[in-house]
Homo-oligomer: A and B are copies of this chain.
Amino acid sequence: MSKATGCCQGFLHYVFDYETPKTLVIPHFGVGIVFRFTQLLVVLYVVGYVCVVQKGYQETDSVISTVTTKVKGFAFTNTSDMDPRMWDVADYVLPPQGDKSFFILTNLVVTPEQTQSHCPELPKPSTVCTDDCDCVEGYNDPRGNGIRTGLCENFSTTVKTCEVFSWCPLEVDTKLPKKAVLAAAENFTVLIKNSITYPKFNFHGRNILPHINSSYLANCEFNRLTDPDCPIFRLKRIMAEAGEDFKDMAVKGGILGILIDWSCDLDWWAGKCLPKYSFRRLDSKNPGNDVAPGYNFRFAKFYKRADGTEERTLIKAYGIRFEVIVFGTAGKFGIVPAIVNLGAALSFLSLVPIVADWVMLTCMKKRDLYTKQKVTYLVESPDNEPVSMGTTYGTQ
């Protein structure tokens, strides 16, 4: 036999000889039951919990969505402060575009006919004056409303304050109506159209479900019990679902979240992937540690007078900002998570013999017999008996 052939054969043996552990069969029912039961526990756990409950074999994707909203309704107001007035969507929805976030005006402080001119400041300790010497010309109080002209003027018959250059007359925002001007907005409805995509799974969905027809949509109104699929929501009802009272919230304003949950298991019939609506107030209600509670902002309508000077109507708008928040995670069988989870499960199965061995060699009556036949101690010379446990490490 040549050297090359021998070397080649050695390599073949090295690669293709199959080395398998020698095993000992213990025909003992107790040990067998421990082994099988532990195995069963692991399998149940992995299959039952990881796969069925947690769906560990799925890969996930986050939702991409688009939302349009359309508010309907009008209200008539007739308060002492204002002329009788009819409000429609172009008056009370801001911005008007029907975005996923929209604001409905419910209460307001109007300051009409402001112009760039001079007027006395609102009375505060820092603005009250007795004569012109108290008012430094050009001083710009960060908590005031304009730049001082240096004059001290009558704010009312009893109080004199420093005059400022500003948009005059100044806004007096303490005049906020106690009852929301547009409390009737609770009967407005909003139509929400929502299309979603899970790009990884090429899944598209909309909240107007396929089985719904136009005539139903023309008349329906969302109701969790009777009309859970209708995408038209009455503001009063969704406010109630969020645990709030519309009329209360309308006075100072707030933010209401319309949450649409598109969490889906796409391994099942995709037609079961339906939106779930929920409603939650997003701003903090009445905590002691809040600044500017509620929700309001100022905006102005600008006009030009016949003489060319600019005039504006300043509106401090209180109201409810609705935010349509679309979220969700879709899961679908994925080979990588499946392998990873199955691998982890197999690892646990490899623990089972360790448990069974431990039980067998520790708790069984015949443990010495088992040990003797399972475990061999190294024999120092091929002919010797197994070395005793007394061999010290030092002398080896």
Contact = CB atoms under 8 A, between A and B. Distances in A.
Interface of A: 1, 9-10, 12-13, 15-29, 31-33, 35-36, 46, 49-50, 54, 56, 62, 64, 66, 68, 70, 73-74, 76, 83-86, 88-91, 94-99, 101, 103, 116, 140, 142, 145-147, 165-167, 187, 191, 193, 195, 199, 206, 208, 210, 212-214, 217-218, 255, 257, 261, 282-284, 287-292, 295, 297-304, 306, 311-312, 314, 321, 323, 325, 327, 334-336, 339-348, 350-351, 353, 356-357, 360, 369-370, 372-382, 387, 389-393, 396
B297 A70 contact: yes
A69 B287 CA distance: 18
Which of A17, A218, A314 has the most chain B CB atoms inside 10 A of its CB?
A17
Given A357-B20, A374-B23, A15 B29 contact: no
Contact of A22 (B23, B31, B325): B23
Contact of A291 (B18, B33, B218, B303): B218
Given A10-B389, A23-B21, A369 B382 contact: yes
8 contacts: A29-B396, A50-B335, A62-B62, A70-B297, A86-B166, A208-B289, A217-B291, A340-B344
A234 to B, nearest CB: 11
A31 B146 CA distance: 85
Contacts of A70: 292, 297
Contact of A167 (B86, B199, B217, B218): B86
A339 B344 contact: yes
B340 A76 contact: no
A278 B374 CA distance: 64
Contacts of A1: 390
A340 to B, nearest CB: 4
A88 B389 CA distance: 91
Contacts of A295: 68, 98
